[in-house]
Chains A and B, each alone.
Chain A
Amino acid sequence: EAGVAQSPRYKIIEKRQSVAFWCNPISGHATLYWYQQILGQGPKLLIQFQNNGVVDDSQLPKDRFSAERLKGVDSTLKIQPAKLEDSAVYLCASSLVVMDEQYFGPGTRLTVT
């Protein structure tokens, strides 16, 4: 079974620039999550999709972050404009159903200078 795929793996941008991350979940997984993991902390949920609908985006800074999951499969997370404090690893995860085991992708390490 192929795992969760993410790209790019690394990204360095200057503050005020924009960036986008891509995620392809495990085939058949209806639920997709984006997490932000700041160095030395646990992952923090940014947004959760059930198929192509948003279930929870209460922790997403909507003035600069956006995410979509068109067709209920792949997802993109965008930051525009980036701030220094956005430097983190962005993890995508998927699960068959809500409150089931979540499988994480390798993450995208973002550095904002």
Chain B
Amino acid sequence: GENVEQHPSTLSVQEGDSAVIKCTYSDSASNYFPWYKQELGKRPQLIIDIRSNVGEKKDQRIAVTLNKTAKHFSLHITETQPEDSAVYFCAASGGRLIFGAGTRLAVHP
């Protein structure tokens, strides 16, 4: 069935460093790839998304890349700050949104 794999499951960085989270998907019909940030006890919130007709998208310190041939997409956070600490979920949709298992990012001052 449809599947999204996400790595790493945990990521610890120093403030100011970059963080990279990678995902792969199985459904070749997927054409919408959002990334959600979920703080402890809170709802998931969209931070950036990309569609299959675009290879890269940036929004300030956040960027997402998509390689449809390899079925890979990645989230890049530069100049990390303590408030970036949260669980990040990638997802892929060809109609139904399938989430990865999440990456717990810890940014240490």
Interface, chain A (partner B; CB < 8 A): 33, 40-45, 48, 55-56, 58, 91, 98-99, 101-107
Interface of A is mostly: loop
The residues of B with any CB-CB pair to A shorter than 8 Å are 4, 6, 31-32, 34, 42-46, 49, 89, 91, 93, 95-102
Inter-chain CA distance A41–B104, complex, in Å, is 11
By Cβ-Cβ distance, the 10 closest A-B pairs, closest first, are A42-B99, A104-B43, A99-B32, A42-B89, A104-B44, A43-B99, A101-B46, A56-B96, A42-B102, A42-B101
Q: Is the CB of B46 within 8 A of A106?
A: no
A104–B32 alpha-carbon span in the complex (Å): 17
In the assembled complex, the Cα of A99 lies from the Cα of B31 at a distance in Å of 9
Inter-chain CA distance A45–B99, complex, in Å, is 9
Known: A41-B101, A99-B32. A48 touches B44 (CB 8 A): no
B45–A104 contact, CB under 8 A?
A: yes
Report yes or no: B100 in contact with A42, Cβ–Cβ below 8 A.
yes
Q: Which residues of A contact B101 (CB under 8 A)?
A: 41-42
Chain B residues near A41: list those with CB within 8 A.
Answer: 101-102
Query: Hey, which chain A residues are within 8 Å of B43, CB to CB?
Result: 91, 104-107
Contact of A48 among B46, B49, B96 (CB under 8 A): B96
Residue of B nearest to A106 (CB): B43
Contact of B97 among A58, A102, A103, A107 (CB under 8 A): A102
- A residues less than 8 Å from B100 (CB atoms): 42
A56-B46 contact in complex given A41-B101, A42-B102, C-beta closer than 8 Å: no
B99 and A99 contacting across the interface, CB-CB below 8 Å: no
Distance in angstroms between the alpha carbons of A22 and B96 in the assembled complex: 22
**Sample of 5 A–B contacts (CB below 8 Å):** A40-B102, A41-B101, A42-B6, A99-B31, A104-B45
Shortest distance from the beta carbon of A21 to any chain B beta carbon, whole Å: 14
User: A99-B31, A99-B32, A101-B34 known; A45 and B45 CB under 8 Å?
Assistant: no
